[in-house]
Amino acid sequence: MDKMVIKESRYISKKAKILRSVRMTSNEMLFEITLEGGESLDHEPGQFVMASIYGVGEVPVSICSSPTARNSFDLCVRAVGKVTHALHKLEPGDMIGIRGPYGKGFPIRILEGNDLLIVAGGLGVAPLRSLINYVLDNRRDFGKVHILLGCKSPKDMLFINELDSWNERMDVHYECTVDRAEPDWAGNVGVITTLIPGVDLEPERTFAVVVGPPVMYKFVIKELLGKNIPERQILVSFERHMKCGMGKCGRCQIQSVYCCQDGPVFNYEQIKHMSEAF
């Protein structure tokens, strides 16, 4: 068997350096990362990268910063498996590999000029943060912006400082709820669907963008349809364990579509008949 170095491979990662790491909860850390030579990642909100620790492995992670921040990007990582646990042990200055960005993100051009109802459940706020910060940086290009956020308990909340700043802005309607409160919690208690009826929206000009655990989609989408938001104006983003990111390895396949190439963002009309989606 002969072996040669090839230039064309799509599997080679770019070298990237961790600039900053912040522990957000007992389980999640935020990493600020820059590509070698200051090269821009040039992503769309909602896309993902394959992050690689040499010798350990590679994992798909959604990019949680807006492309308006051009010199670096953020990844929010929950420690679940071998690679993500190893990532949590890395420190500023450590090198990792980055492939991507991959996939179809949130359709910014289509969203522009419309009202947005952003519904984030749990870790779903991570990919949505790329959209939210993009929208806030280009605020006049969008209509009304509603952000509804839900998580299990106050101590599970991610991006706490930013949530406060979203809450304080006069050009954003922000609400959040927790499934289970703690004694010092003064906010809403209940699942995220309880926030939807109170939102004053014009369904024809509203795009709902929903990201959260699979169980959440069913109930949230039902509420949104009840609000008369058209099916193709309900956008979702799916979690799958991509291995290649290029529509080949089969891991992320949902019936006839590949989440890594055709998604991870889909509109509800595209995927409503796919039982493997939820």
Asked if 84 touches another protein (CB under 8 A), the answer is: yes
Least distance between another protein and beta carbon 214 (Å): 5
Residue 227: which region, alpha, beta or left (left: phi > 0; alpha: psi -120 to 50)? alpha
What b-and-e string marks burial along 141-165, b requiring 16 or more CB atoms within 10 Å of the CB? Answer: ebebbbbbbbbeebebbbbeeebee
Residue 204 three-state SS: helix
Instruction: Using CB under 8 A, pick the residue from 13, 27, 194, 270 that binds another protein.
Output: 13
Distance of alpha carbon 150 from alpha carbon 127, whole angstroms = 14
The span from the CA of 103 to the CA of 195, in Å, is 30
Nearer to another protein, 14 or 227 (CB): 14
* Closer CB to another protein, 18 or 172, in the complex: 18
267 near another protein, judged by CB under 8 A: no
Q: Residue 12 interacts with another protein (CB under 8 A)?
A: yes
Q: Site for another protein (CB under 8 A): how many residues?
A: 48
Region 34-63 residues binding another protein, contact defined as CB under 8 A: 52-58
Which one of 40-48, 105-113, 166-174, 248-256 is the stretch in contact with another protein (CB under 8 A)? 248-256
Closest CA to 236 of 195, 183, 274: 274
Q: Up-side HSE of residue 86: CA atoms within 13 Å toward CB?
A: 15
Q: Which residues bind another protein (CB under 8 A)?
A: 1-13, 15, 52-58, 78, 80-81, 84, 95, 97, 123, 213-214, 239-241, 243-244, 246-251, 253-256, 275-277
